[in-house]
Structure formats: structure tokens, C-alpha cells
């Protein structure tokens, strides 16, 4: 257990930390985070405080996560983070709410979190704007990735009120995200709106490179906007292969692999929302689809093949200052490649590196080698639940089945590159 403890206080009233020894976290580190958010959340009624408090907690967690370097931990990963957060309705955060929050953060980050909530945060003010938009009827996360683009394209083709796509702004990929949004808007049969919030942290210190709490920040932002517009559901589209994200090696178990859209994670988040008094449900509409099946949904919705392969973003390690939007060798890139091959029989994504032309020794081939070994082992119910639990209400058979179908797509990818895999049954 790590002996290094990171101690913070997140305050929203502009006053310094009230406890000695605590490092104050200024919300302005996420510069401009409220400007567009409040504009999109402008409604002619009171916005729910519980949703604002949940978002404030998610912001505080994200900042504390990024300010606490894992290299300071005894094992180089697991940290102890003591965080106090100022909220508007501290009484709503009962023992059960804090227990669920602790379990949720432990699932996401694999750290030891001690969180306390303090009162006297002010409710966000109305902007007193004239309401010209129709009420929002649907809310979904939209990263500009293949899965979120497919879902947005599908829903845009359904008649109804406004569809709100909630995004986080990354300067390097802003142009690509805009191109994807434009492609969806061009084929839409309804009004599609987008909310973009920054995620850049303006801190004068090195930041933690891992981003395990980012998924909670994204989801809490969408939940706040859905609650403000009285929408009962938030869609977080992620193919079942990457939502379940079974560990390829023992070194990637638990939070060593991203699990922000895992059924267990979403179940804990939904339980927390209920305890806080909310009625919004966060769900994954693509949980039972492989990457290839998601690609086919996108094509059926009208997105051109060129948009899927050359515009959408899926990389887990996006190269900076290099040619190409995708590294080509990380696990998400490999899953993307297998899905496009399954749906289109080709992939025109401009990868920065051709992972199929390098040998087995370079670091660039590590995920490819791990994936190939994983495909030689059988996969069943035990493999699904040993690494990460699933909700008691979940039907395990469809979850195992989507992983198995995804494994077939991945094995076919290896075969098309002249590297057939002796794939185990299951």
C-alpha cells in the first residue's frame, strides 16, 4: 500500500482552503469549463442541484487524479488521495452515497480515495437568455470516435426534438471532431446540437499521464445536461469489446485497462445517481455489438466509408506532431482496424505506423503480440467475471457472445495480414 498521500480541497467559492495541509484545487484549472455548459443548460426552470454537485465532484476527482503522479506510489501505480469537495447539498451525500462513490473511483482508478463533502457551494446562476431552441429530447456522449459517430448518425435519422451531443474539446483533434459532426448534421432529419467543454488543465507542474477518471467527468457532464433538460437517459456508445475490455495479459487486469463504460462502472454510477435523488440513467446502447457491427450500423445510417476510416478517431495513444491521427499499434487501433475490415473489407485509416510490417521485438508490436496470444486461449464466463464483476441483473450469455464474435473479427484481421491465429474455441 502506498504511503504517499495526496491531500486536496476543491473549493468553488473562491476562498482558500480552510484546513492546513490541504492543497487547494482551483476550479479555474479547467479554464472556461462553465461558459458553454451553462449556455446549453439554460432552461426556464430550476436545474437540479444534485446533478451540479455530481459534476463538481467529478471535476474535483479528475483534477486530483491528474495532479497526483502515480510514480510517487510505492508500487508505481496505486495512490492514496484525500479529497474534500465543496458542494451545494452536502446532506445528500450520505454514507451510502460516499460508499458508492468510493467503489466507483476504486473501480476506475484502482486508488484509495478518502472523500469528504462540505456545504456552501452556490447554485449555478441562470443566464437570463431567451429560449429559442426546442427542448432537448436525447443526450449522448460524442467524442468523434467511430462508435459515438455511428450512434449519433443513427439517432439523427430518427424524427424528434433536439439531439444533444456532449463532447470534450481537445485542440489537436478539434478539426476532426468538427468534420465528423458536420457529416452527421448533413444527413440528420432533426436538429443536432453539440456541447463542447475543455478538458485541458492549466497547471504549472507535470501531470499524471493516465486518465482513468476522465470517463466519469464526461459522463457527469452529460448527466448534468440531461437532468437540466429533464431527459431521463444518457447514451454512452461503446462497442462491447472495448466496453468489457477483458485483460489481454495479467498485467492489464482491473484499472490497468480502461473500464469507464464497463457494465459494473455504469451500474455503480446509476446507483449513485439514484441515491442522490436523480432519475437519469446512463446506458451503453452498443454493449452487445462488436466493432464490425457498429461500423455496419454507421454505414446503414448513411455515413460514407471515407468518413469512418479517414475522419473518425479511435486511437488510445494518438501521436502528437507526427503524420496520422492514429498510432496504428495500440489495442483500440487494432480493434478499429478489425471492425473496418469486417464491415468494409478494407481500412483507409492513415495510421502513423504499419504495425504489420514491424517484427515482434519493437515496442510498437507489444499490443499486437499480446492480442495474438490472447486469441489462442479460450474465453468463457469465468474470464468475463474474474477480472471485473458484472451487475447481478446482467445476462452473462450475450456479454460472452459479443466478446467471442469480436475475437472472430480480430482473428480474421490477423489472417488477412498473413498471420493466422490458432484461435481457441470460445
pLDDT of residue 380: 92
pLDDT digits (tens, 9 = 90+) for 360-383: 777 778 899 999 999 999 999 998
pLDDT, average across residues 158-179 = 89
204 has pLDDT over 90: no
Q: What pTM was computed for the model? A: 0.94
For the segment 239-248, what is each residue's pLDDT rounded down to a tens digit?
999 999 998 8
Tell me, what's the pLDDT at 132? Answer: 56
Q: What is the pLDDT of residue 70?
A: 92
Closest CA to 371 of 421, 426, 309: 421
- Grid cell at residue 425: 474455441
Question: pLDDT digit string (tens) for 83-100?
Answer: 999 999 999 998 999 999
3-state SS, one letter per residue, for the chain: CCCCEEEEEECCCCCCCCCCCCEEECHHHCCCCCHHHHHHCCCCCCCCHHHHHHHHHHHHHHHHHHHCCHHHCCCCCCCEEEEEEECCCHHHCCHHHHHHHHHHHHHHHCCEEEEEEECCCCCCCCCCCCCCCCCEEEEEECCCCHHHHHHHHHHHCCCCCEEEEEEEECHHHHHHHHHHHHHHHHHCCCCEEEEEEECCCCCCCCCCCCCCCHHHHHHHHHHHHHHHCCCCEEECCCCHHHHHCCCCCHHHCHHHCCCCCCHHHHHHHHHHHHHHCCCCEEECCCCCCCHHHHHHHHHHHCCCHHHHHHCCCCCCCCCCCCCCCECCCCHHHHHHHHHHHHHHCCCCCCECCCCCCCCCCCHHHHHHHHHHHHHCCCCCHHHHHHHCCCCCCCCHHHHHHHHHHHHHHHHHHHHHCCCCCCCCCC
pLDDT at 181 over 90: yes
Q: Residue 285: pLDDT above 90?
A: yes
Q: Domain ranges in the chain?
A: 304-416
Position 2 scores a pLDDT of 45
Q: Report residue 397 as a C-alpha cell.
A: 450469455
Q: How confident is the model at residue 275 (pLDDT cuts 50, 70, 90)?
A: very high
Q: What confidence tier does 1 reach under pLDDT thresholds 50, 70, 90?
A: very low
Amino acid at each position: 500500500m502506498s504511503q504517499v498521500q495526496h491531500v486536496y480541497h476543491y473549493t468553488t467559492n473562491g476562498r482558500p482552503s480552510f484546513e492546513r495541509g490541504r492543497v487547494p484545487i482551483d476550479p479555474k484549472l479547467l479554464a472556461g469549463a462553465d461558459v458553454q455548459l451553462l449556455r446549453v443548460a439554460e432552461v426556464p426552470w430550476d436545474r437540479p442541484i444534485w446533478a451540479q454537485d455530481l459534476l463538481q465532484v467529478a471535476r474535483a476527482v479528475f483534477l486530483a487524479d491528474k495532479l497526483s503522479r502515480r510514480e510517487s506510489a510505492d508500487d508505481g501505480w496505486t495512490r492514496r488521495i484525500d479529497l474534500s469537495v465543496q458542494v451545494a447539498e452536502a446532506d445528500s451525500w450520505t454514507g451510502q452515497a460516499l460508499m458508492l462513490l468510493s467503489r466507483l473511483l476504486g473501480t476506475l482508478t484502482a486508488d484509495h480515495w478518502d472523500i469528504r463533502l462540505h456545504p456552501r457551494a452556490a447554485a449555478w446562476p441562470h443566464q437570463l437568455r431567451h429560449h429559442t431552441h426546442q427542448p432537448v429530447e436525447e443526450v449522448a456522449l460524442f467524442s468523434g470516435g467511430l462508435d459515438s459517430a455511428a450512434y449519433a448518425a443513427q439517432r439523427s435519422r430518427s424524427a424528434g426534438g433536439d439531439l444533444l451531443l456532449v463532447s470534450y474539446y481537445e485542440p489537436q483533434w478539434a478539426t476532426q471532431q468538427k468534420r465528423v459532426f458536420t457529416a452527421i448534421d448533413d444527413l440528420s432529419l432533426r436538429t443536432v446540437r453539440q456541447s463542447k467543454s475543455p478538458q485541458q488543465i492549466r497547471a504549472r507542474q507535470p501531470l499524471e499521464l493516465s486518465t482513468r477518471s476522465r470517463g466519469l467527468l464526461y459522463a457527469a457532464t452529460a448527466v448534468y445536461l440531461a437532468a437540466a433538460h429533464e431527459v431521463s437517459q444518457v447514451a454512452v456508445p461503446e462497442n462491447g469489446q472495448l466496453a468489457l475490455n477483458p485483460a489481454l495479459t495479467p498485467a492489464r487486469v482491473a484499472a490497468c485497462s480502461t473500464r469507464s463504460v464497463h457494465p459494473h462502472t455504469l451500474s455503480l454510477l446509476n446507483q449513485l445517481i439514484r441515491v442522490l435523488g436523480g432519475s437519469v440513467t446512463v446506458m451503453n446502447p452498443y454493449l452487445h455489438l462488436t466493432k464490425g457491427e457498429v461500423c455496419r450500423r454507421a454505414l446503414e445510417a448513411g455515413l460514407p466509408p471515407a468518413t469512418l476510416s479517414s475522419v473518425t478517431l479511435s486511437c488510445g495513444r494518438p501521436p502528437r506532431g507526427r503524420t496520422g491521427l492514429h498510432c496504428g499499434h495500440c489495442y483500440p487501433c487494432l480493434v478499429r482496424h478489425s471492425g473496418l475490415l469486417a464491415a468494409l473489407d478494407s481500412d483507409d485509416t492513415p495510421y502513423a505506423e504499419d504495425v504489420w510490417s514491424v517484427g515482434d521485438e519493437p515496442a510498437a508490436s507489444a499490443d499486437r503480440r499480446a492480442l495474438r496470444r490472447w486469441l489462442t486461449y479460450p474465453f468463457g464466463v469465468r474470464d468475463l467475471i474474474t477480472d471485473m464483476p458484472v451487475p447481478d441483473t446482467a445476462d452473462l450469455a450475450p456479454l460472452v457472445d459479443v466478446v467471442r464474435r469480436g475475437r472472430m473479427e480480430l482473428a480474421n484481421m490477423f489472417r488477412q495480414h498473413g498471420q493466422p491465429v490458432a484461435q481457441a474455441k470460445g
